[in-house]
Structure 1
Amino acid sequence: MEKYIAFLRGINVGGHKKVPMAKLREVLGVTGFHEVRTYIQSGNIVFKCPEKSVSELEQIIKKTIEDSFGFRVPTLVKSLAEVQKIIDDNPFTTSEYLETNSVYFTLLFDVPSGEQIRSFESVTYPNEEFKISDSCVYLLCKKGYGNAKLNNNLIERKLKVTATARNYRTMQKLLVLASYK
């Protein structure tokens, strides 16, 4: 069975789209997912599943959440190898930035167009750096993500794709959770 990590966008934020993690693990287990684990309340799911396409898995998770909780949630599924590659490709590896929680991964649900990328690459903000790949916008927020202008909403608007952000520690923790036998 393949291991996957699912990233949900916009749940349990400000009291909206509440999804209790224990209930989510339970309902996903009923759909045929195995060893379902969640990490923090922001919608990170690690699971095993008989091999299916990621788009099939995304649809199963979306439908399960809609049927169980009454609303749709943008869902991105990556294989363990894909998440490892995203982390390995991170250009911001200075220990100072990693230890101070200044590195973020804005995971893209679709590949942005070349035109959108070129336009976005002209954006600059003090104390913030970024690099765009097909699947991720890597962010270095020297003054913290809470103070960053380059946030998830701006990235979605400029690149015209759905996205969800996670910090370096969360990405690392998800790899650890997915690596257990």
Structure 2
Amino acid sequence: MPTPRAEPRGSHDILSGYDRNDFHASRHQCRRHNVIKMDALRALYESLRMQDPQTYVQSGNVVFRTSERDTAKLAKKIQNGIEKRFGCKPEIILRSSTELEESISKNPFAKRRDIDPGKLLVLFLAGEPSVQGREKVLAIKADPEELRMRGREAYIYFPNGMGKTKLPWSLIEKALGIPGTGRNWNSVTKLMEMARKLEAVN
């Protein structure tokens, strides 16, 4: 994985949501020639019987509603649909609106007044990391970056900005043994806002 960006180029991530079980974040690691337009992505979701799909900027974040409660089945359905329509097979990482809200409330930097939200990244993982994986990640020398783990999320603060970091990003995924997708804090809160509005309407 390349040096982390606020919204990584060349990838398409999904925020999907429904009623009280909105989902956040999938990782579509498609090559540049597989760039997915957001109107096409929304159309795909509609064809998969997802309701009210909404996208957030070109990153591929999507919010939608569905009656499906099996997240594994839902992720597979999205993955297969994208592969068939766009020719790339991404790994899908989902979060419910409740889980997304929890990731916001668990922010380990929340009480720090010196934190710039635009320099804080949340790494949403595909699964629960092992104790050994957590220990390996927390042992990584990240200075001046600060790295914290909370459940299936890693919070990384880049005081000098994400573009100037020397943090070995690939080493984080290797240590965890689990793929993840990153969102800067401003995007995370915006996606939460979108999910809440969708719930309020429905």
TM-score by length of structure 2 reads 0.81
Distance, in Å, in 2 between the alignment partners of 1:41 and 1:12 is 13
Q: CA RMSD for the aligned pairs? A: 1.8
Structure 1 partner of 2:25: 7
Q: How does 1:121-160 map to 2 (within 5 A)?
A: 121-150=138-167, 152-160=169-177
Matched, 1:19 2:55: no
Structure 2 partner of 1:110: 127
2:183 to 154, 157, 166: 166
The alignment-based identity, stated in percent, is 26
Contact 1:11 1:19 in 2 (8 A): no
Query: Displaced runs of 4+ in structure 1, greater than 6 A?
Result: none
The residue matched to 2:34 in structure 1 has which SS?
coil
Residue 11 of structure 1 and its aligned partner are, at CA, apart by 4.6
TM-score by length of structure 1 reads 0.90
Contact 1:106 1:152 in 2 (8 A): no
Distance 1:44 1:87, change over 3 A: same
Structure 2 partner of 1:33: 50
Aligned length: 179
Greater fraction of residues in strand = 1
Which structure carries more relative contact order (alpha carbon 8 Å, separation 6+)? 2
Structure 2 partner of 1:178: 195
Gapped regions of structure 1 (runs ≥ 5): none
Contact 2:28 2:89 in 1 (8 A): no
